[in-house]
Amino acid sequence: MAASQDGDFSVISEAVPAASADTAGELYLAPMEGLADALLRDILTRFGGYDACVTEFARVSGTLLPHRFFRRLCPELAQGSRTACGTPVSVQLLGSDPVCMAENAAHLAELGPWAIDLNFGCPAPTVNRHRGGAVLLAEPELVHRIASEVRRAVPAHIPVTAKMRLGVDDPAQATDCARALSEGGVSRLVVHARTRADMYRPPARWEWIGPVREAVNLPVVANGEVWDRRQWARCREVSGVLDVMLGRGAVADPLLARRIRGEVGQGEGWPLVLSALEEFWLRVLEALEPRHAPGRLKMWLGFLVRGYPQAGQLLSQLRAEKNVGAISSTLAAQRLLMRQRADGVHPSEQAGALVG
């Protein structure tokens, strides 16, 4: 990673190759609707350590989504379905009608996605009411038809993958659904180790991922409640699965993938994160109306609070602030303060320590 000594994130254009780590197993950045959009995917993958990431879901319901919709959801399609630093991006579809899903997948395939991912995990009532997401896990036959129709419609060189929860309310449903997906032709399966009824309540039930892995003959990726290196190791130990997908933990600590790979130590990294936050803010200002911009910044800061005490201080300074100019000034002042500290008082905080 070409980070400058003072932790200037803007100079990073190439992520650390994910394969550079001596850690066995792949790391994926999870799809997160309303959170991990193209902008945050770009920033997070530039921190390095990810093998691939996934877009937010595209809801398929009765119509053919136009190419411009897919291009907006996944601007990375214009650059070979990769983020600016080269991390591959899958495009995720959510829906329950096998024929309509297949038609949309074929239409999307014309744009050259790195892979097409099918969502069987969304627990949102508005989505589930229309028979989309995790409720489909009660119907393994339908799950199978969706996967096989999509697989048939998409050119063989584009992988079709899936992401599922353990079931609607019983984790014992997981193996039937996983088999249905495997027999339907998906080539990788992410298992979020909760049922729909569990919503996002901890703990994740990593122990149920092992039986899924044993039931199918395809790569399985473990997901759910991995916030640090220790939990990553424990998740792999309990599930017996080597590859892990990181969701909220990746937003809370943009350096999580690199910490897992042993390239960045615990407690290091705030200067780089602050610089990334500034870049994120500038890009949010370009992309959104001023009244919507502060909310986006505070949403990310709200996650960062979990891993960085400095983010908590910043958030309390900004919480009530709606004026974009004042927010820019606060960020700039933080940066100045940090530079001054890096020049003398807290050398351990220098981002140069991160350069792997």
Ligand X SMILES: Cc1cc2nc3c(=O)[nH]c(=O)nc-3n(C[C@H](O)[C@H](O)[C@H](O)COP(=O)(O)O)c2cc1C
Interaction between residue 35 and ligand X (CB under 6 A): yes
Among residues 248, 258, 261, 296, the one that binds ligand X under rule CB under 6 A: 248
Residue whose beta carbon is closest to ligand X: 247
> Tell me, what amino acid is at 44?
L
- Torsion angle (degrees, nearest 10) of CA 136, 232, 43, 327: 100
Interaction between residue 296 and ligand X (CB under 6 A): no
Give least dist CB 202 to ligand X, A: 8
3-state secondary structure of 90: strand
Give least dist CB 124 to ligand X, A: 9
CB atoms inside a 10 Å sphere around CB 43:
23
Among residues 22, 34, 156, 344, the one that binds ligand X under rule CB under 6 A: 34
The Cα 256–Cα 303 span in angstroms is 13
| Cβ contact 102:109 at 8 Å | no
Q: Which residue's CB is nearer to ligand X, number 33 or number 268?
A: 33
Give least dist CB 139 to ligand X, A: 18
The Cα 91–Cα 55 span in angstroms is 5
| Cβ contact 262:300 at 8 Å | no
Among residues 75, 184, 249, 307, the one that binds ligand X under rule CB under 6 A: 249
Could you say which of 74, 122, 177, 235 is catalytic? 122
Q: Which long-range contacts (CB under 8 A, 24 or more apart) does 347-350 make?
A: 348/268, 349/268, 349/270, 349/271, 350/5, 350/6, 350/7, 350/271
Give least dist CB 35 to ligand X, A: 4
**Contact string (CB under 6 A) for ligand X, positions 212-241, x = contact:** -----------xxxx---------------
The Cα 166–Cα 257 span in angstroms is 25
Interaction between residue 30 and ligand X (CB under 6 A): yes
- The number of C-alpha atoms within 13 Å of 78 and in the hemisphere containing its C-beta is 11
Number of H helices, E strands in the chain: 14, 8
Among residues 21, 27, 32, 314, the one that binds ligand X under rule CB under 6 A: 32
Interaction between residue 132 and ligand X (CB under 6 A): no
Among residues 9, 18, 23, 31, the one that binds ligand X under rule CB under 6 A: 31
The Cα 73–Cα 119 span in angstroms is 15
Candidates 31-39, 105-113, 211-219, 328-336; binding stretch for ligand X (CB under 6 A): 31-39
Tell me whether residue 85 is one of the annotated catalytic residues.
no
Interaction between residue 118 and ligand X (CB under 6 A): no
| Cβ contact 91:116 at 8 Å | yes
Give least dist CB 95 to ligand X, A: 13
Q: Which residue's CB is nearer to ligand X, number 3 or number 134?
A: 134
Among residues 56, 149, 263, 278, the one that binds ligand X under rule CB under 6 A: 56
| Cβ contact 81:45 at 8 Å | no
Residues that bind ligand X (CB under 6 A): 30-35, 56-57, 92, 119, 121-122, 163, 192, 223-226, 246-249
List, by residue number, the catalytic residues: 122
